Structure formats: C-alpha cells, structure tokens
Structure 1
Amino acid sequence: MKKILVFAYPFNQIERIVDYSVRFARDLGLPLEFVHVVEEPVIPADPMTSNFNTGGITADTVPNDFVENRSRVLQKVLSIKNASMEIPVSYSFKVVPGSVQILAADISSRNDIEMVLVPNLPDQDSNQPSIDLIEGTDHPVYAFPLESEYHPIRKIVYASDYNEKDMEVVKHLSNIARKVVASITVFHVNKDDKYEAHLKNDGFREQLEQNPALRGIEVTETKSEKIVRGIKDFSKRNYADLVVLLKENKNFIREFFGKSTTKDLVKDSPIPVLIYHES
C-alpha cells in the first residue's frame, strides 16, 4: 500500500501538523510517513524551535542528541494523537539531517508514495520550503493552510484546460472522491471571449461520459481576466474543500496558467491545494 509522506515543518507547529495529517490519512485510508529535516547551521538548544536554512547541513555537523530529542518529541505527539483517534492510522517517522533539495530528490525516486503533504504557511519566506518541495518532486503535493483545522473533503474543484493530460488527473481524483464521498467539478478559467473553450469543453465531457467511473463529474467554465483570482472566486462560490492544479514540471504550467500561478495560489489559499505534475 502506498503512503502519504508528511513534511513535518516547522517543528514548533508539529502538533497542528500531526493533527491535520492523521485526520486526513484516516479519511483516505492510507498510512503516514513523517519526515522532519534538520537544516540549521547553529543548532538551537530548544528542540521545539525551528529556523529554516535552505543551505542544509551534513550529518556529522548535527549533534546526535538534538536529532534524538526531536525524534522523541515527534514520537510522543504522534502517540498521543493516534491514541485519541477512534480509528487509529498506521504511521512511521524519522528526523534526519540534510536539505529540502535532498529530500525532494529522495521522494522523486520512490514509488511507494501516494502524495506529499506539506503545510502552507502565511509568511512567504517561511513557506519557501513547501514551495521547494512542490517544484522539486514529481509526486502530487497537497498543501494545506497550517492555521486552518482539518475539514472532510466533500467538494473538489479542478482547474483544467480540458486537455488529454488532464484525464489522468481526473481519474486519480475520482479515486480520492470515492474514498471521502466527494463530488468533482472540472472548470476552465476563460480569459478571452474569443477563446472557443466550449468546443474543448464538449470534447472533454464526452471523454468523461465514455468512462463509467467518471460519469457524473461536472464540467463548466468561468470568466476572469486574472487566472488566480478566477480560481479562488470559483472555489469560493462553489464551497470547495479542495482545489486542484496540474503543474508542468519545467514550465510552471506556463502554457495555460502562467509561470507564477501555482505559487500565487498556494501562498494564501484559504483551502488546501493539490498540485499534480505532468508525467
């Protein structure tokens, strides 16, 4: 069975991260793997304090007792939280020295990961590690607002260009939707009245109807001059619990959304954002 890998950062918010992750994994019926990366050239004395440094450090520069202390804290928080759940989840954890870049490369090389769960912090500088993971790994990345409590997913909206590459994403989303009993709406943000979106819309809908597992998925479009604003407004009007994007690995979804859409949407989204990478 594949697992959800949780990027356990920042460490001073570990209880909130654990609470959200355990509830999310329970609803999806998947095990969890928590990873906390120590990237601090000067190790603080307090194991609950975390300042991020993207330069990373080598294993021999991290005191063993510091790694052990954080491991004990993480184990304790996980044990207490899981014991309080009516349906406990399976989990593992590790605290390792290194960097986000190293972690991203390791994640991309693995085939046992369903998705990566990262906290979305309100401060842009503090949120850079999560953005680095979104850009650095090939697996789907689920970014959730750290300041929000977990709410069951009942409405999923997928911002699409109605292309063939979107079908694989929709198929994967349909598996998630069945587990959490959610509806799916695929929508296109139309910036230009001359853009013949309805033609692509009709073809995309036909492809969905041809697959019995995808019937019932709604397909529509919305008008907005600004893509990010259009996605946010559509999500809000439709009371979405999760918004989904397809990000091109090298071009930051440049063909349709523009180079900064993913980062702009993630940095202050009030709801979780699930980012897929084009295969």
Structure 2
Amino acid sequence: MEKILVPVDFSEHTDKTCQYALEIAKRFNSEIRLFHSYFDQVIVSDSSFPTGIDTNTMMNEQLLIDIEKRAKLDIQELQSKLIDQVKHEKIKDVKIVYTLVGGDPENEIVSLCDEYKPDIIIMGSSGKGNKGILMGSVSKKVMNNAKVPVLAIPETYSYSGINKIMYATEFNESDSDIIKKLLKMFSSFDIKINCVHLNLDDDRTVDNEMMANMKRIFAEENKNGIIHFEIIDCDKVATEIENYVINNQINIIAFLSQKRNIFQKLFKNIVTKKHLFEAGVPLLAFHG
C-alpha cells in the first residue's frame, strides 16, 4: 500500500484514525495524505454536512474566509503532529502530506480518489452506540461510491494489531478476487482470514455447495490454516456477528459493498452494512 488517504474532521476520533493509518504505513513505507473538506457554500438538503446549519442563510464572505483559515491551521497542526511522531519514533520512509478543499466531504473524497489514486481510504465511523458524527455518516456514503477499499474505524476502537480478518461472504462472484486482495494488502502482517457466511434460511444446501467451491479455490491456504471457511446459522444477525467477532478475536470485518435494489430491500434475510457496523470493529469495504 503506497498511498493511504485519511479524511479527517478534527474531532477526538481523528487521532485514533490517524494512528491506525500510521500503523499500516509503517509496514509498507506508505504516504499518508490527510484530507479535509470545509464548509464553503450554502448547503443543500441532502448534503453530508450537519443538519444544524441553516440552508436558507447566506454566509458572508468574511465568515467563509475564517472557516478556510481555521481549517488550514487545523490540518497543518495535525500534519506537524504526525511528522513529529514519525521523527520521534524513527519511522523510515513514511511521508505525511495533506489536501484541503472546500465542498461536500463525500463528493470531494470520491473526486480526490480519481486524481490521487490511493490504495486505501482510512476514515472515521460513528461506530456502535454512537449518536452519530459528521464523519460517521460520510463513511457509509464513501463506502458505496469510492472505487478503492474503504476502512472505517469506529470511534470506540483503538488499534490492537491486525491478525484476524473476517470476510463476510454472500457468495458473490467477486469473492475470490477480494480474498486475494486481502492477502496482498496485508502481506506485511501475519494474518488469518475467516471466510464466513451467515445463513438465514432453513435450507443450507446451496450455501454448502458454494462454500465447498470456495474451499477448492483456496485449498492450499485452507490446508495451511491461513483461510478458514465457515457457515453460521443464525436468526439475529447483529448479535451473531458481534459474538463471532468477540469469540474469534476479529480485528477487521471485510465485505463487498453493494447498493441494494428495491427487490432486495423487500426481504429481511439479508446481511446489511448496518449489521456489520454494530459489531464495533473496523469495516473494510470493497467496491462492488
């Protein structure tokens, strides 16, 4: 991973997100690009900015200038803090740069990805039990629209290593490619992958056949204990995922992010991003 994009909002959660990114950057000698998008215009109703801002009030030019100045000071201060940490810890070949723009966070992040081409986006998420912050709502939208992997870090989570990754499969044709990407992305970590399917139906015949096919594709990794395959029968999805994460010491849940069509939304037996967010660990979304 040569380039890591880290959107920040200067909340208390920003430091945890940056520290997580730095831990990964250490392993790959990555460049970390801090990114912040500040409010610079009248907000429309479907914007990612806080709803407390009056969309009918025109902001005067001086206030917009002050907002930009404050944002520039904040991101430069954060950059300096991380550079000092890199020097203090004698971390080699990790570069800290930043991009500051005005606009809507979600759109600007996706736009920068097209230009900067990061290997991964690491950003904050409101996580389990949180009432919701700006970056939490934006992360879910970026997961749906960014073409690069997005790692969302819950506010309550602190980096504790990357050893066990749960890949939540719905038996998509992209699964094998994503698992290969996971092995490559975290090649500098001694990781093990638990490929898990949550079965919400009474009949698991088809699921067994699909999982058996995945085992054949990764027969060597399965034999060497690098990848473990498992089907779990469950009724309460969120509870089952949370218990699995705790019992198996999962550090990251990876999944294929797909927009549901109207037909799919009619059915309850679907594992959603909401279920995964409730597990309280970082989520790694791959674009589908």
TM-score (norm 2): 0.79
**Which letter maps to 1:95?**
L
Q: Could you tell me which residue of structure 2 aligns to residue 103 of structure 1?
A: 108
Query: Do residues 131 (structure 1) and 144 (structure 2) align?
Result: no
Q: Among residues 185, 189, 198, which one is paired with 2:208 in the alignment?
A: 198
**Which letter maps to 1:248?**
Q
Alpha-carbon distance between aligned partners in 1 of 2:143 and 2:161, rounded to the nearest angstrom? 23
**Which letter maps to 2:142?**
L
What's the CA shift for 1:102?
A: 2.3
Q: Could you tell me which residue of structure 1 aligns to residue 163 of structure 2?
A: 154
Q: 217-226 vs 1-10, which deviates more?
A: 1-10
Alpha-carbon distance between aligned partners in 1 of 2:181 and 2:225, rounded to the nearest angstrom? 14
**Which letter maps to 1:144?**
I
**Which letter maps to 1:176?**
M
Query: Do residues 25 (structure 1) and 29 (structure 2) align?
Result: no
- Residues 177, 72 of structure 1: CA spacing in aligned structure 2 closer, same or farther, 3 A cutoff? closer
Q: Among residues 255, 266, 280, which one is paired with 1:270 in the alignment?
A: 280
**Which letter maps to 2:254?**
V
Q: Could you tell me which residue of structure 2 aligns to residue 236 of structure 1?
A: 246
Q: Could you tell me which residue of structure 2 aligns to residue 181 of structure 1?
A: 190
1:252-263 matched pairs, under 5 angstroms: 254=264, 261-263=272-274
Alpha-carbon distance between aligned partners in 1 of 2:280 and 2:91, rounded to the nearest angstrom? 27
- Residues 37, 204 of structure 1: CA spacing in aligned structure 2 closer, same or farther, 3 A cutoff? same
Q: Could you tell me which residue of structure 2 aligns to residue 227 of structure 1?
A: 237
Q: After superposition, what is the alpha-carbon deviation per residue over 1:151-175, rounded to whole angstroms, capped at 9, x for unaligned?
A: 1101111111233210111000111
What's the CA shift for 1:220?
A: 1.4
Q: After superposition, what is the alpha-carbon deviation per residue over 1:203-249, rounded to whole angstroms, capped at 9, x for unaligned?
A: 1111112789x984211111111333332222222111111111114
Q: Could you tell me which residue of structure 2 aligns to residue 76 of structure 1?
A: 80
Alpha-carbon distance between aligned partners in 2 of 1:277 and 1:35, rounded to the nearest angstrom? 21
- Residues 27, 147 of structure 1: CA spacing in aligned structure 2 closer, same or farther, 3 A cutoff? farther
Flag structure 2 segments of 5+ consecutive residues without an equivalent. Answer: 43-47
What's the CA shift for 1:180?
A: 0.8
Alpha-carbon distance between aligned partners in 2 of 1:17 and 1:165, rounded to the nearest angstrom? 28
> Given that residues 41 and 103 in structure 2 are in contact (C-alpha distance below 8 angstroms), is that contact kept between their aligned partners in structure 1?
no
Q: Could you tell me which residue of structure 2 aligns to residue 121 of structure 1?
A: 126
Alpha-carbon distance between aligned partners in 2 of 1:271 and 1:195, rounded to the nearest angstrom? 28
Q: Could you tell me which residue of structure 1 aligns to residue 69 of structure 2?
A: 65
> Given that residues 116 and 141 in structure 1 are in contact (C-alpha distance below 8 angstroms), is that contact kept between their aligned partners in structure 2?
yes
- Residues 116, 11 of structure 1: CA spacing in aligned structure 2 closer, same or farther, 3 A cutoff? same
What's the CA shift for 1:87?
A: 2.1
- Residues 83, 108 of structure 1: CA spacing in aligned structure 2 closer, same or farther, 3 A cutoff? closer
> How high is the sequence identity, in percent, across the aligned residues?
20
Q: After superposition, what is the alpha-carbon deviation per residue over 1:37-74, rounded to whole angstroms, capped at 9, x for unaligned?
A: 112769xxxxxxxx94378999x734353243223322
Flag structure 1 segments of 5+ consecutive residues without an equivalent. Answer: 43-50
CA RMSD of aligned residues (A): 3.4
DSSP 3-state at the match of 1:271: coil
> Given that residues 144 and 258 in structure 2 are in contact (C-alpha distance below 8 angstroms), is that contact kept between their aligned partners in structure 1?
no
Alpha-carbon distance between aligned partners in 2 of 1:177 and 1:4, rounded to the nearest angstrom? 13
What's the CA shift for 1:258?
A: 6.4
TM-score (norm 1): 0.81
Alpha-carbon distance between aligned partners in 2 of 1:259 and 1:7, rounded to the nearest angstrom? 30
Alpha-carbon distance between aligned partners in 2 of 1:219 and 1:260, rounded to the nearest angstrom? 18
**Paired positions, count:** 267
Alpha-carbon distance between aligned partners in 2 of 1:202 and 1:105, rounded to the nearest angstrom? 37
Q: Among residues 91, 98, 103, which one is paired with 1:87 in the alignment?
A: 91
Q: 110-119 vs 217-226, which deviates more?
A: 110-119
Alpha-carbon distance between aligned partners in 2 of 1:134 and 1:193, rounded to the nearest angstrom? 31
What's the CA shift for 1:77?
A: 1.8
